[in-house]
Structure 1
Amino acid sequence: MTHIKKHAELMNTAVINTDFIPYGRQSISKEDIAAVVKTLQSDFLTQGPCVAEFEQAVANKVGAQYAVAVNSATSALHLACLALGVTADDRVWTSPNTFIASANCARYCGASVDFVDIDPHTYNLCANKLADKLALAKLSNTLPNVVIPVHFAGQSCDMLAIHQLSQEYGFRIIEDASHGIGALYQGDYVGNSHLSDICVFSFHPVKIITSAEGGMALTNHEQLAKHMRTHAHQGITKSPDELTQTPGDWYYEQHTLGFNYRMTELQAALGLSQLAKLDDFIAQRHQQFALYAELLRDLPITLPYQSNDSRSSLHLYPILLPQSHISARKAVFDALRSANIGTQVHYIPVHTQPYFQALGFTWGDFPVAEDYYHRTLSLPLFVGLTPAQQYHVVAVLTHALAEQGIK
C-alpha cells in the first residue's frame, strides 16, 4: 500500500469530534487530586514543607544544586534578573520568538532590551547571529550584560555555543526553559545550569507538567539561590547569620525590597505528583509527534525540526505554511477553529508589540522571526490527545489547505 493511499484511509477513519480540541491542556489524574486534597487537610496551605520537597525533587531530577519555586515563570525570570544584578544601566538580549515575559523581566529592572534573530530550523535564538551581533556590539561598547536564550517548544538552544560566547564577551546567561522541563541537551537534562547561571521552568497548565500556576529557578550558585529566595519572600530573612540582632524566634528583618512571589503548598503538591509522570508525559508527546510526522509528511508544509544534539520535551507542534501562501494563514486558522480545533500562533514577535515599538523597534528588525510568525500555526499536542483526534486535525487541515490552493 502506498503512503498516499494509507494516508487517505487514515483520513477516512478520522472521528468527527464536536468536542473542542485545544492546542494544549493539563492532564490531571486521581493521584494528583489526592495529593492536593491531602495538602488541604494538612496544617500548611502555604510556607510548609511541600514547596521545599518539590524544589529538591526538581533539582535532583535535572541535576542542579539549588531550586527556588515561585508563583510563575515570569516571577522566576524577574528574580533571575535581580539576582544577576540587572539594573537600569544594563542591556539584556533575548529572542523575539517567545512570550513577552522573556523580555519584560529585564524591563522590570529598568534595563534596555534587544533581540537576536532566530535560527530558521529550530526557531530558537540563533547562536551564529548572536556571535555576529556581539562582535558589532563590542565595537560600539554596547555588549549585553545578560542574554536570555529561550528553548522554544521544548527544544534546547545551542547552549554550548552560547556559553562559549559568554566566556568571550563576559555576559551572564538565564535559560528560559519555560517549555523545556524534561528536555535533554547533549544527553543531560535541561535545567542542570552547567552552561548558564540560572534556568527557569514554567508549570502553567499547558506546559509539560503543571502546578496550576507556578515556576522555578534553578542554579548551581548558592548566593544566586539565596538572593532569589529572599526577593521572592518580600526581601525578608530569618537566617541567624544575616540578622543584626536575635531577640527571639519571632524576629525577622527586611534587608531589601522584595516581592510576594511564593508558591503555595497546594501548587507544590500538584507539581510533585506531576513530576513523577514527567518521563511518561514526554514519551506520549513523542508518540504523538511521530504520528503527526507520518500523517503530514506529504503536505506542502514545514514540520518541526529536531536537532541531533537535543531531545525536545515537545511543548508545541508548530507547522509552517509555504512562503508563497502567507496570506492564507488566517483562512486556515479560521477553518481549524471552526472545526473546534484550538490551533494557536506561537508567537507574535515581541519587538512588534506596541510597548516595544514605543522603545524604537519596528517590523523588519528581525526578519527570520517575522517570516516564521507569518507562516506558523500550532497544532494540538498534549497528553491525552488520541490518534483519532490527530487524524481529525490532519483531515481538517488537509481540507483547509486545499481550499486555499495549498496541496
Structure 2
Amino acid sequence: MKSIPYGRQDVNETDIQAVIEVLRSDWLTQGPAVERFEQAVADYCGAGFAVATCNATAALHLACRALELGPGDMLWTSPNSFVASANCALYCGAAVDFVDIDPRTYNMSVEALEDKLALAEKQGRLPKIVVPVHFAGQACDMRAIRALAERYGFRIIEDASHAIGGSYRGERVGSGRYADITVFSFHPVKLITTGEGGMALTNDSGLARRLHRLRSHGISREPEAMRQAPEGLWYYEQIELGFNYRLTDIQAALGLSQLQRLDGFVERRHELARRYDVLLAGLPVIAPWRHPDAHSAFHLYVIRLRLDTISRTRREVFAALREAGIGVNVHYIPIHTQPYYRQLGFMPGAFPQAEKYYAAAITLPLYPQLRAEEQDRVCSALCEAVA
C-alpha cells in the first residue's frame, strides 16, 4: 500500500508552464521574474518591500545582519522550531537564548517572555532581537510582543516560515505591523514552493536596501551608495561583506504561479483540519488549538498523545503509524537539547513546556491533495496504534 507523506507540494500544469517560459527566456538566474515575485508577495501581504532569497535560513541570516546583530549581542527565539531560527544569530557571532512556549499554541509564551525580559533588564542582558516563530502556521501574539519591544527596546524578526497565507487580527502575516522583518519559507512542504527559497519582508526602505545588498555580495550599483563617482555604466562597488543568497528566475516563476493558489491551499488545509478534529474526537489525543486572534495557515496538523491514558509510548505509536504506511513526523526536537547547543551550555529541563510538548507530539499528514479516504486511513491507523 502506498505511503502517505506528512507533507507534499502541489505542482500543476500552470506552474510547469510558468517555469518553461523562463527556461525559454533570456533570464535564468536573477531577473524580472524575481522582481515580479517579490512585488506580488509584498502586495499580497500588504508590506512595503520584499527581498527573495535562496532559502528561509538565508533570509533569517540577512535579517539579523540588516539589524546589525553581532558579537556581544543576544537573540532570543523559541525552542520549538527548526534550528535555523537560532543558528542565524550564531552566524553573526551573537549569543542565543530561548523563551519557553505557551502550552496551548506551542508558540513563544508572552508571559514567559515578559518575565525573562524583566530579569534580563536587571542583569543588563536584554536581547537585541527577538524571533517569534509562528509554529504550524498560527501567528504568535504579535501585538503583545510588539508592546514589549517598545518597552525594552529590542527588534523583531517574525519567523513566519510556516505562515504565509495566514492572518493575525485581521491582517495578513507579513504586513509588517508588528515586526521589523518577516521571513517566509518556500520549501516544498510549505504552503507554496519555489523548490527551495525564502523571502524577507519589511516596511523600512533602509532595511530593504540593505537586505538587497547583503543578498548579492554586499555589492551596489546605486550611485548614492558608492564611495566614488561611477566610472561608467558597468561600474559597481562592494560596500560591505555580503553573500550569494539569490533566488533564480526559474524558482521565482514557480513561486509566482503558486501564489495565485495560496488562498485555496489554506482553505483546503482548514477543511482537512476540521475533518481531523471530527475524526479524532474521542481518541486519547489533543488536537491543535486555534487562537481567536489568528487565522492559521495550517502548515502542520500536530496532535499530542495523552500518554497517561494509553499503554504505548510515543515512540511505539510513531513506529506503528510508519509501519502502516503513514508518513508521520515530529516537529520539533527542542533546539536547546541538540548536541551543538548543549555544548553552548543549554541543558534539558531549561524550557519545560517545550520539552513536555515535544514528548507527546506527532505531526499527521496534511496537504491540499490529501483525499478523504487517505485521511480516514490515517485516523484508523492512529486509532489502532493508541488502542
Counterparts of 1:358-397 in structure 2, within 5 Å, are 358-397=343-382
Matched, 1:284 2:260: no
Where does residue 325 of structure 2 map in the other structure? 340
318-327 or 41-50, which moves further after superposition?
A: 318-327
Q: Does 1:42 align with 2:25?
A: yes
Contact 1:107 / 1:113 at 8 angstroms: preserved in 2? yes
Specify the alignment match of 2:277 in structure 1: 293
In the alignment, structure 1 residue 111 sits paired with structure 2 residue 94:
yes
Q: How does 1:1-150 map to 2 (within 5 A)?
A: 18-150=1-133
Whether contact under 8 Å (2:307, 2:313) holds in the other structure is no
Letter in 2 for 1:355: Y
Q: Deviations over 1:88-130 (max 9, x none)?
A: 1100000000000000000000110000000000000001110
**1:317 and 2:301 aligned:** yes
2-structure distance, mates of 1:203, 1:333: 27
Paired AA for residue 211 in structure 1: T
| Length, aligned pairs only | 385
> 2: distance between equivalents of 1:209 and 1:135?
39
- Decide whether the 8 Å contact of 2:45 with 2:172 is kept in 1: yes
SS at match of 2:224: coil
* Unmatched 5+ stretches in structure 1: 1-17, 403-407
Match of 1:202 among 178, 181, 185: 185
Q: Shift of residue 327 of structure 1?
A: 6.1
Distance in 2 (CA, whole Å) between partners of 1:326 and 1:257 is 56
Secondary structure of the corresponding residue to residue 213 of structure 1: coil
Match of 2:147 among 138, 149, 164: 164
Correspondence list, 1:173-188, <5 A:
173-188=156-171
Letter in 2 for 1:298: G
Normalising by structure 2, we get a TM-score of 0.99
The share of aligned pairs that are identical, in percent, is 55
2:80/2:107 contact within 8 Å kept: yes
Alpha-carbon shift at residue 326 of structure 1 (Å) = 9.1
- TM-score of the superposed pair, with normalisation by structure 1: 0.94
Q: Taking structure 1 as reference, are residues 273 and 326 closer, same or farther at Cα in structure 2, changes over 3 Å only?
A: farther
Shift of residue 340, structure 1, vs aligned partner: 1.2
Q: CA deviation at 1:20?
A: 1.4
Q: Select the residue among 280, 283, 289 that pairs with 1:305.
A: 289
Cα displacement (A) at 1:295 = 0.2
Give the AA of the match of 1:235. Answer: G
What are the superposed Cα offsets for residues 341-385 of structure 1, whole Å, 9 maximum, x if unpaired? 110000000000011000000000000000100100000000100
Mapped partners of 1:68, 1:356: distance in 2: 30
How many angstroms apart in 2 are the aligned matches of 1:349 and 1:227?
A: 32
Amino acid at match of 1:263: L
Paired with 1:285 and 1:135, the residues of 2 have a C-alpha distance of 39
Measure the CA separation in 2 of the matches of 1:143 and 1:94. Answer: 13
CA deviations 1:312-345 (Å, max 9, x no partner) are 0000000001142596101111111111111000
2:380 partner SS: helix
Please say which of residues 244-253 and 263-272 is displaced more in the overlay.
244-253
1:105-157 Cα deviation digits (max 9, x unpaired): 00000110000000000000001110010011111111111000000000000
Report deviation, 1:245. Answer: 2.1
Partner secondary structure for residue 365 of structure 1: coil
User: Hey, what's the Cα distance between the residues in 2 that align with 1:65 and 1:31?
Assistant: 28
